């Protein structure tokens, strides 16, 4: 059981918008920064969002992040078939790193 | 080019030991936070360990007392010494760099991963 809670799966049509939630507590999300990762099948994870809402160089602005209290959200607009992947949130929690269980995004 | 290359994975019997290496290029591991993250077959990501630029290390409870994280700055290489291995340690092990200006954790560079299989 993961410390951070994510929905197992989400789906949407190409061109649409989707959001993925990440729920935690005061010991993790509530007092630390959140990062988000995309993992394509058979590949290493890729950083999409860090410090709650910052995008690394090269990440399109279709990807956005936000945080409120003990929850964080990843938003993806203009969905493309290439966005089909597993998405993970991550943060710090009392001297250890923690991840969510992952959300599988299906682009219908 | 900034990259990380892990080596050292393989098949090991329960109770055995293995040392993973992560060779960095294009940046210095001594001035960055460096971590190991693992992923069991078909499962999600699990944080394993971190070494700060100061040299301080932290480990997940699941590996504390069994895994040791170290680095050789002259070789620009990170090591994960894994002892008393268990079946539940079976996973792909990724080495990752923390974003230089972000707040930990923000893994911006990942290696390709190395598979560790613990089985008799």
Nearest residue to B70 (alpha-carbon basis) of B90, B48, B92, B51: B51
CB A90 within 8 A of CB A100: yes
User: What's the mean pLDDT when you consider all of chain B?
Assistant: 97
CB B30 within 8 A of CB B71: yes
Nearest residue to A99 (alpha-carbon basis) of A47, A43, A40: A47
CB B119 within 8 A of CB B13: yes
Contact call for A44 and B99, based on CB within 8 A: no
pLDDT in tens, B13-56: 999 999 999 999 999 999 999 999 999 999 999 999 999 999 99
- B45-51 and B34-39: which strand pairing? antiparallel
Whether B100 shows a pLDDT value over 90: the answer reads no
Which residues between 25 and 84 in chain A have a beta carbon less than 8 angstroms from any beta carbon of chain B?
32-33, 35, 37, 39, 44-47, 50-51, 54, 56
**How much is the pLDDT for B113?**
97
CB B36 within 8 A of CB B69: yes
Whether B5 shows a pLDDT value over 90: the answer reads yes
Report chain B residues touching chain A, CB-CB < 8 A.
35, 37, 44-47, 50, 58-61, 94, 99, 102-108, 110-113
Contact call for B105 and A92, based on CB within 8 A: yes
* Positions of chain A with pLDDT under 50: none
């Amino acid at each position: 059981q993961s410390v951070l809670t994510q929905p197992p799966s989400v789906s949407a049509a190409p061109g649409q918008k989707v959001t993925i939630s990440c729920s935690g507590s005061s010991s993790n999300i509530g007092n630390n920064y959140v990062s988000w990762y995309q993992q394509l099948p058979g590949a290493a994870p890729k950083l999409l969002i860090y410090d709650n809402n910052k995008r690394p160089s090269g990440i399109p602005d279709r990807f956005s992040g936000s945080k409120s209290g003990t929850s964080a959200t990843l938003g993806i607009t203009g969905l493309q078939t290439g966005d089909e992947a597993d998405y993970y949130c991550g943060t710090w929690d009392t001297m250890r790193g923690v991840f969510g269980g992952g959300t599988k995004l299906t682009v219908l | 080019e900034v990259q990380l290359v892990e080596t050292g994975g393989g098949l090991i019997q329960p109770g055995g030991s293995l040392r993973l290496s992560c060779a960095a290029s294009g940046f210095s591991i001594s001035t960055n936070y460096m971590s190991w993250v693992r992923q069991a077959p078909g499962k999600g990501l699990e944080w394993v360990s971190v070494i700060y630029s100061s040299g301080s290390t932290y480990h997940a409870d699941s590996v504390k007392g069994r895994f040791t994280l170290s680095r050789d700055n002259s070789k620009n290489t990170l090591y994960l010494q894994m002892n008393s291995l268990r079946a539940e340690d079976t996973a792909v092990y990724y080495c990752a760099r923390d974003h230089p200006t972000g707040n930990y954790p923000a893994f911006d560079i990942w290696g390709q991963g190395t598979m560790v299989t613990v089985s008799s």
